[in-house]
Structure formats: structure tokens, C-alpha cells
Amino acid sequence: MAILVIAEHEAGSLKAATLNTVAAAAKIGGDIHVLVAAAAVGPIAAEAAKIAGVAKVLCAEAACYAHHLAEPLAALVVSLAGGYSHILAPATTAGKNVAPRVAALLDVAQISEIVSVVSADTFVRPIYAGNALATVQSKDAVKVITVRATGFEAAATTGAAVIEAVPVAADPALSSFVGQELSKSERPELTSARIIISGGRGMQSGDNFKLLEAVADKLGAAVGASRAAVDAGFVPNDLQVGQTGKIVAPDLYIAVGISGAIQHLAGMKDSKVIVAINKDEEAPIFQVADYGLVADLFKAVPELTDAL
């Protein structure tokens, strides 16, 4: 039994979610191969070869793989699928774009966002915004799976896998890269940050997020937001944490002025330590918080900044 993990990368380096996906593959059992598809695979492949538990890194180098377009990457994965019992991808925006196409082309069901492995054909995944866990079993010959990174500890980087080139698949030419607009920040990216401070509707305006930014600068933290804050136009949607935003599990999550709707809790409840600041002592966020402060955030947050 061999498992193929689709590596996710950006700016010439692996993204952290790939390590979590390899960890999930290790729990399934079998030889683990990592597929790196890029316009220049060298540095990425070398990084992938160091992941513990990986037996082989497969490299496909072509211009059509430069921007992680789903159609050419899916075609490549399908061309390699014959030798694998499982195909895994991180449950990120990119992974969710590629995996369903692979499953459709192979005419199998996709298993989405697993958080635990029971056996080689049985997996656990959250449903109902994380309020319930479903155990699902697949009888498909090839199991196409996306992995929720927060469900698995990242694999170590102590390996020394073999690197091997594979043939480039024909580009179906169904899409082309036009351009991208990247948000620039000196703060860490939400999904990889060790500390996150998020604001909700209680922040009252986008200008008040400067209070959170002051704390973030002291802690080296990322700034996030609830869907209510994003929908209100306080901050851009790339800061949204929650079921329809980004799923995070930092060492420390500070929720400020966030009531704790189910949708938001689904995106951060796996954080190691949760701190909540809210003036409503009945707010649902306090049910999951390790530390709760019932206070006016406009008084408490500046005091926190001064203390730091």
C-alpha cells in the first residue's frame, strides 16, 4: 500500500500544512510519496525530502505548475494514481481546489477534512460546524482525502527521502494564470502563527482593530477576526477565522469582543490555550475559553498592551 501526498508550496518553499498531511498519511500506514509540482522544483523537493516518514519525493517540473492551478495539477495526480491506494492533500484553499477534481476524474468519492485515522479505510471528520464527528468508511479502490491540518501534529524534518523525476502530464488547458494581488504584512500568516488575537463585532469599527494590532506587535502575533467583523466591513476577509474562514490551532488564541458563534468556534477551538475578553458574561466563547475576562475591551486591551 502506497500513499501519495500532494505537497503545497509557495514562493519556493513548502507550506506547513504539508507536514501535517504527511503525519496523517503515516497513521494510515504504508510507503509515503510526496508529489512536488512546480516551475522550479529543486528547493521545494529538497525540503520535502527531509520530512520524516517520506520514502520518495516525486518531482514534476513544468511552467503549467507554476501557480498551483487545479486542472493541470489534477491531471498530473490522476496520471500517477494507478500506483496508490490513498491520495492526500491539505484541506486548504489549494487542496480543496485540486482534490475534488482528482476524485471526479477517478470516479471515486472524496473524504473531506479528516481529523483522525481509525484504519486504512475508516476516518473521522467533523460535521455540523464541528459540533459532531462522523466516522466514515470508504470502499473505493483509491481513497482521495483532504486533511485538516489542526487534527495532526506536524511531521518532523529528520528524513532523507529519495528524489525522483516523473513525467509531466498533458495540460488540459482549461485555465490560465492571469495575476494575483497579495496582501503584505510583517505579522505571521494566520494558519501558521503561534499566537493569534482576533476581534469580533464588539470592536465596533475597523479603526478600533488598532488596539489589537498593538497587542499583536508586542507578542509577535497574527491578527484575526470573526465573520461578524468581516461582514461588517471592519477588516478584509483574509483575516476571517471560522468554518468558512481559516481553521487555526495556535498555542495561544485571544478572542476580543467575540461572542463565540458556532461558526467561529469551529475554526479555533483546537487552540492549545484560549483567552476570551468580553463584557457579556453569558457569551458562548467562555464555554471553550481556558481564561475568561468579563470586561470592557476598550479598557482591558489598552491595559493589556501597557502590561506587556
- Per-residue pLDDT averaged across 168-184, rounded? 86
| Residue 173 binned pLDDT confidence (cut-offs 50, 70, 90) | confident
Whole-angstrom distance, CA of residue 104 vs CA of residue 188:
35
- pLDDT of amino acid 191: 86
pTM: 0.85
- Identity of residue 237: N
Q: Say if residues 192 and 18 touch (Cβ distance below 8 Å).
A: no
Quote the mean pLDDT of the chain: 94
* The pLDDT of residue 134 is above 80: yes
For residues 147 and 24, the answer to whether their CB atoms sit within 8 Å is: yes
